[in-house]
């Protein structure tokens, strides 16, 4: 099914990605499967308290995969909204991390997942960390958050381009169907009617002249 999405000269650049080397539809398939796997693993292993949301969000990914299979752009819209929400959440998380890092370093460590109570011995305190270590940890955290945000935004643009492509293909098929109806395409010639040959033209050399 994906063989028809081979990139050639006929495919516009707006429907390509990875430096115009890949079509957006196969990449959209890969991204939908990737987010389905990440979400399922996160809920089952790291967020068991959010298990009640699992059927709702999983239905979003199932509808997106089904929309790609039947080439329906409307079913991809929930996935596009989900990715847009991830971008907004990443931006808000980055702002929160930046604000907390300026106010309290120990709270910042707890905010990014470190155990500041020392139960697992990977919490750095204000006394043991130098300014270089603090600045490096804050900057590296910001870089990771920014990379996740850019990745989610790129996913958002790929899904949006895929929806536009599927909508354009559907409109083209609808136009062809209206221009050439199915009743005309399904007609068959049952019998052949022989056309009578035309009468031969008289030869001027053999004209009969009637005289009185």
Residue-wise pLDDT tens digits, 46-88 = 776 666 667 777 888 999 999 999 989 999 999 999 999 999 9
Tell me if 117 is assigned to some domain.
yes
d(CA 145, CA 201): 91
pLDDT tens digits, one per residue of 133-176: 778 888 888 899 999 999 999 999 999 999 999 999 888 887 77
Tell me if 206 is assigned to some domain.
no
Tell me if 199 is assigned to some domain.
no
Average pLDDT over residues 28-52: 82
Tell me if 204 is assigned to some domain.
no
State the pLDDT confidence band at 121, using cuts at 50, 70 and 90: very low
**For residue 209, is pLDDT > 60?**
no
Nearest C-alpha neighbor of 25 from the set 139, 158, 209, 141: 158
Beta bridge partners of residue 23, listed in sequence order: 16
Number of domains in the chain: 1
Average pLDDT over residues 187-210: 56
Domain that holds residue 154: 11-185
Inter-residue long-range contacts of 125-134, CB under 8 Å, 24+ positions, other chains counted = 129/105, 134/105
Tell me if 211 is assigned to some domain.
no
Tell me if 181 is assigned to some domain.
yes
Tell me if 205 is assigned to some domain.
no
pLDDT of residue 6: 66
Tell me if 5 is assigned to some domain.
no
């Amino acid at each position: 099914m994906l063989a028809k999405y081979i990139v050639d000269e006929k495919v516009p650049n707006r429907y390509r990605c990875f430096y115009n080397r890949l079509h957006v539809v196969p990449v959209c398939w890969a991204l939908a499967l990737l987010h389905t796997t990440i979400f399922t693993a996160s809920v089952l292993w790291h967020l068991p308290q959010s298990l009640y949301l699992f059927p709702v969000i999983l239905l979003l990914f199932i509808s997106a995969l089904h929309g790609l299979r039947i080439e329906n752009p409307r079913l991809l819209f929930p996935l596009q909204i989900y990715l847009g929400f991830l971008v907004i959440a990443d931006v808000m998380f980055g702002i929160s991390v930046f604000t907390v890092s300026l106010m309290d370093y120990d709270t910042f460590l707890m905010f990014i997942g470190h155990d500041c109570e020392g139960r697992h011995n990977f919490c750095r305190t204000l006394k043991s960390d130098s300014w270089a270590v603090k600045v490096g940890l804050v900057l590296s955290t910001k870089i990771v958050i920014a990379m996740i945000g850019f990745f989610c935004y790129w996913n958002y643009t790929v899904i949006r381009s895929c929806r536009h492509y599927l909508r354009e293909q559907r409109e083209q098929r609808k136009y062809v169907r209206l221009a050439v109806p199915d009743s005309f395409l399904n007609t068959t010639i049952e019998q052949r009617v022989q056309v009578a040959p035309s009468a031969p033209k008289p030869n001027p050399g053999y004209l009969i002249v009637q005289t009185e």
